[in-house]
Structure 1
């Protein structure tokens, strides 16, 4: 099997992966740095704004210290580059060191890497594996009405993936902390794509949580319109045949399908390598 000529049955899955890895870097963008370490990429429009603020540094732009990041993000909001999320996210170096914080909405504007969690809410029944699927509220700022994971969310400042899973599980689906704490870390997925909100360079920490058959999720924070328990084969068909799921959910589900043996070994290898950005 060649990755150049994949089987037709795999093409829809590969297209979802390619769609999330469509950004060409730098692609006309300028580097954005903090304390001389590059942490992002800015579009010409953002670069123009940074230039008016006197933040040009050599061939790119930046701030001298991490403490300047959050005030800068607020200034960019006031200049109309984005609408504030009123939520601070950590900005990390390549080594994982927290350099400072920004308003969440500024992350794609500055082309910063962002981290989040996605949780597969699984139910094992006699007739097979089922997955809890959420439908996003129509009031959501991004991707309203799309299908989503039972639990998914960005990693707010000061939190780690495990803490975020427990927090989001309670807020989004009413999952008790004791149950959410049993979620198993299964994979890490990275991608970069251009979106209406800017450059998305995301890191997803993926978890599996086995839920009791009697568990029924409850939308605690109003971000979910409804929940649906679907057979895994039906979920796989939705990913294969539609764009019903929020763009990045497809990648986490493809990873789940691979781990659950829903692809032939050679197909799984091709898809696994595509998720990692490697040639088969």
Structure 2
């Protein structure tokens, strides 16, 4: 499979087959038709019609809106409409993270088709015979891509943490890096994509980093996500 094939595989989502989700007057996500219909059971939180679903405007501000939707998410997890509740808040935004209008549990991100943000870091070592890269292998107990190869560090970007704060945290958890070493990472760009998912859509943004590591550095996973 070529790189172009990989790019195409990451952009196989189609919003035309989904219902738009609005919150605070903004388009913030995309819902599979069946799930959009299921949300009609909570008329105090959502209103639906014309191929779209709105988080009700009379729910109040950021926090009250978020908590009302969160109650629905928890009920959907109990009923099997959403796979897992992960107790990690993701921003729900029409654009930038800073423009979030509410939060949503990470486990419901694809179901609601919201834009999720992540950080992936390539760690490399410069030697006399060229550049060598550390490649991680995901643990076999991961729900997503178990046993597959991965960046040295990769993680989601929750609400309330800056890019640097979250990167330092992920580097410590997945590679045993010190904060000083992690802060030397260089942001090389961002990748956006629209991927189909069994639960819905993933219109996500990935922040990409490079980090030159000392030759004697050896990564050490502390959170169980990486097998080796």
TM-score by length of 1: 0.73
What per-residue deviation string (whole Å, max 9, x for no partner) do you get for residues 69-119 of structure 1?
A: 333322322332221122111212325412111110111001000001000
Unpaired runs of at least 5, structure 2: none
Q: Which residue number corresponds to residue 202 of structure 2? A: 200
User: When the two structures are aligned, how many residues end up with a matched partner?
Assistant: 215
What per-residue deviation string (whole Å, max 9, x for no partner) do you get for residues 154-191 of structure 1?
A: 00121122221111000111010110011111110000
Is residue 70 of structure 1 aligned with residue 60 of structure 2? no
What is the rounded CA distance, in whole Å, between the counterparts of 1:73 and 1:121 in structure 2?
Answer: 37
Q: Which residue number corresponds to residue 277 of structure 1? A: none
Alpha-carbon RMSD: 1.5
TM-score by length of 2: 0.89
**Higher mean C-alpha displacement, 111-120 vs 32-41:** 32-41
What is the rounded CA distance, in whole Å, between the counterparts of 1:154 and 1:50 in structure 2?
Answer: 26
What is the rounded CA distance, in whole Å, between the counterparts of 1:52 and 1:130 in structure 2?
Answer: 54
Runs of 4 or more consecutive aligned structure 1 residues displaced over 6 Å after TM superposition: none
Q: Which residue number corresponds to residue 118 of structure 1? A: 120
What is the rounded CA distance, in whole Å, between the counterparts of 1:94 and 1:77 in structure 2?
Answer: 27
What is the rounded CA distance, in whole Å, between the counterparts of 1:42 and 1:190 in structure 2?
Answer: 19
Q: Which residue number corresponds to residue 170 of structure 1? A: 172
Secondary structure at 1:131 match in 2 = strand
What is the rounded CA distance, in whole Å, between the counterparts of 2:14 and 2:198 in structure 1?
Answer: 15
Output aligned runs, 1:1-280, within 5 Å. Answer: 12-27=2-17, 29-54=18-43, 55-59=46-50, 60-63=52-55, 64=57, 65=59, 66=62, 67=65, 68-82=68-82, 83-95=84-96, 96-226=98-228
Secondary structure at 1:94 match in 2 = coil
Unpaired runs of at least 5, structure 1: 1-10, 227-280
